[in-house]
Amino acid sequence: MNKDPETLFDVGRVVATHGLRGDLKVRLNSGDPGLLLNVDQVSLRLPGGEQLDDLVIVRQLQHKEQVLLRFRDYESINLVERLIGSQVLLPEEDLPELEADEYYWRQLEGLQVIDAERGDIGRLRDIYTTAAHDTYVVTGMFGEVEIPAVKEFIREIDLDERVMKVALPQGLIPEDE
C-alpha cells in the first residue's frame, strides 16, 4: 500500500546510475546532502506515477554535489535503471526542523503573491537556486516574474492564508504603458 502522497516531501530526483552495483545518483532539491545521509528508508515516485515505499537504504554517500543511494533488493544496475527520473520522497517527520524564516518548497508552492504597490501579481510556481540566493518564479497577470528570495523584497509569508506579501523594486515588473 502506498504512503499518503500528502505526507511525503519531494527532496530530490534520481538522475543516473553509478557503477554496476545498483547505486543511484540523486540530485537534491536543496543543497543539504544531510537530508539523505541520515535516513534509513525512502519512497520513490517513478516517472510513470508508480510509488515504491519503504526502500531500505544499504549504502549512502555524498558524491560531489549529489548523493549516492543503494537499496536492499536493488543491488544491480539492471534492477535500478528503471528508477532513473524518480522523485525521492521522505515523510515529513524525517525532515529537519527549519529556522523561523525558512520553508520547504512544498509549503510555498502555489502561494498567492501580493505586491505592496501593484496588488495581486500571481501564484508562486517554481523556485531555483543561484550562488547568491533562491529565486521565486511567479506567474500571473504580468507573465513570469522572478523575485529574489531576500528579506529586502519578501515582507511576509502567511502559510495559513496561503499568501506571500512582497515589496518589489521598480523595473522588476513591466510598468503599464
Structural domain harbouring 129: 105-166
Are residue 137 and residue 87 in the same domain, yes or no? no
Predicted TM-score (pTM) of this structure = 0.66
- Same structural domain, 82 and 130: no
Is the residue at 44 inside a domain? yes
Tell me the torsion sign for CA atoms 15, 16, 18, 22. positive
**Do 69 and 116 lie in a common domain?**
no
The predicted pLDDT at position 176 comes to 52
Residue 115, in any domain of the structure: yes
3-state secondary structure the chain: CCCCHHHEEEEEEEEEEECCCCEEEEEECCCCCHHHHCCCEEEEECCCCCEEEEEEEEEEEEECCEEEEEECCCCCHHHHHHHCCCEEEEEHHHCCCCCCCCCCHHHHCCCEEEECCCEEEEEEEEEEECCCCEEEEEEECCEEEEEECCCCCEEEEECCCCEEEECCCCCCCCCCC
How many domains does the chain divide into? Answer: 2
Residue 6 phi, psi dihedral angles, 5° rounding: -70, -20
The pLDDT of residue 177: 41
Give residue 167's pLDDT: 95
Question: How far apart are the C-alpha atoms of 10 and 115, rounded to whole Å?
Answer: 29
Task: Specify the CATH number for the domain of residue 132.
Answer: 2.30.30.240
How far lies 142's CA from each of 18, 110, 115, in Å? 43, 16, 12
Tens-of-pLDDT digits for all 177 residues of the chain? 566 666 788 888 999 999 999 999 998 876 667 778 889 999 999 999 999 999 999 999 998 878 999 999 999 999 999 999 999 999 877 877 777 778 877 788 899 999 999 999 999 998 887 778 888 999 999 999 999 999 999 999 999 999 999 999 888 887 654
Same domain for 122 and 72: no
Residue 175 CA to residue 170 CA, distance in Å, equals 8
